[in-house]
Chain A
Amino acid sequence: MPDIKVTTRSIFLVFLKIGTFAFGGLYSVLAFIEKELVHKKKWIKDEDFAESVVIGQLTPGPPIVNTGIFIGYSLKGIRGGFATVAGQVLPSFLMILIFSYLFMKYRDIPLLQSMLKGVGAAVVGLIASTIYSMCKSSLREYKSISLAIVIFICMALFKFNPISLIIASGIAGCLFFRGGDS
């Protein structure tokens, strides 16, 4: 696929840049990756990029990391895939280490305690907004709406294990959504 010479090192460096500036959700980061790899470096074509986004969402783990692995693998094999993970993860790993250290050191200060009250409430709002946007994109007809409700009840009221619920819903998907793309 690539015409230009791509080294593992250069893959690492591009993804280091992506990992450092990857604020603001999946889609802004994907746009950033597209700009860097498709338009600037021309390592991959737009169709390959679209393919990598799909694969990223169909595999376990963070979609952006998986998209990176797919791109890295297609450019330079297993080492290329590994380089994208290392590059993407390194900046946030260092940052969260520093945060963790500071947090453990200063967590008993009253000021931090009151800040955390506000932050905790914001996290709940954040999760709610994620649910809202997922509802908009995935709940289009009665089958998926009822599945969402059933799973919610199984988890909230009956405390079923979420892993078994995910497996069960995958099987339910095979039974109810086979063929047509509802």
Chain B
Amino acid sequence: MEMMRFFWTLFYVNLFTIGGGYVMLPILHTEIVENYHWLTNQEFVQSIAMGQLTPGPLTIMNVFIGYKVFGFLGAVGALISSYLPSMIVATIVSRYYLQFKNSWIVNSSFKGIRPAVIGLLGAVAITLAGESIIDLSTAAIAVGTFLIIAFTKSDPTFVILGAGALGALLY
């Protein structure tokens, strides 16, 4: 029963994830960590890292969460419930895309949602930073990662692997 609730949660989280994988994080964090306590903050950060280490969208991190909380069945169900909203909505939109793309409601809503997502993500970043930045070295790794990715266009996968290696050396 709890597993069904987990799948349903992933379904509506992804239904409201409009405009990029990172939009998912604030909603997912509220539901998975704060409402249902399926993961701790730390485990949530680890799931993001797992999602970054694999090719493709960050959404795949939900499979890791499913596996961690409910085992193999949880992983398969997480995959299906995370991609089902995309498949339903994008298929319908593909059919009527001209009306959809030119609708003023769609376009002006997005002008509101885009800045809002920045605010949401900022709030989550602060929560996660409180958990992951525990001393000077972790602060340095976080700042270093920010600078490398924001200003050099490096691949996040390698930066995360590098940070893992640094962690192994430092602790």
Residues of chain A whose beta carbon lies under 8 Å from any beta carbon of chain B: 19-26, 51, 54-66, 69-70, 73-74, 78, 81-82, 85, 88-89, 91-93, 95-97, 99-101, 103-104, 111, 113-135, 138-139, 144-145, 147-156, 161-163, 165-166, 168-174, 176-179, 182
Contacts and interface: CB of A to CB of B under 8 A. Distances in A.
Given A61-B59, A118-B141, A78 B54 contact: no
A155 B59 CA distance: 22
Given A96-B60, A125-B143, A145 B115 contact: yes
Given A124-B129, A126-B52, A138 B150 contact: no
B106 interface: yes
Contact of A114 (B59, B144, B171): B171
Interface in B1-44: 12, 14-22, 25-27, 30, 42
A77 B121 CA distance: 35
Contacts of B168: 111, 114-115, 118
Interface of A (DSSP majority class) = helix
Contacts of B58: 62
Given A119-B163, A126-B145, A173-B108, A151 B119 contact: yes
B54 A95 contact: yes
A176 B95 CA distance: 29
A52 B66 CA distance: 30
Interface of B (DSSP majority class) = helix
Contacts, number: 364
Q: How large is the interface on B (under 10, 10 to 19, 20 to 34, 35 or more residues)?
A: 35 or more
Contact of B56 (A56, A57, A92): A92
A123 B149 CA distance: 11
Interface of B: 12, 14-22, 25-27, 30, 42, 45-46, 48-61, 63-64, 67-68, 72, 75, 79, 82-83, 85-87, 89-91, 93-95, 97, 100-101, 104-106, 108-126, 128-129, 131-134, 137-139, 141-147, 149-150, 155-157, 159-160, 162-168, 170-171
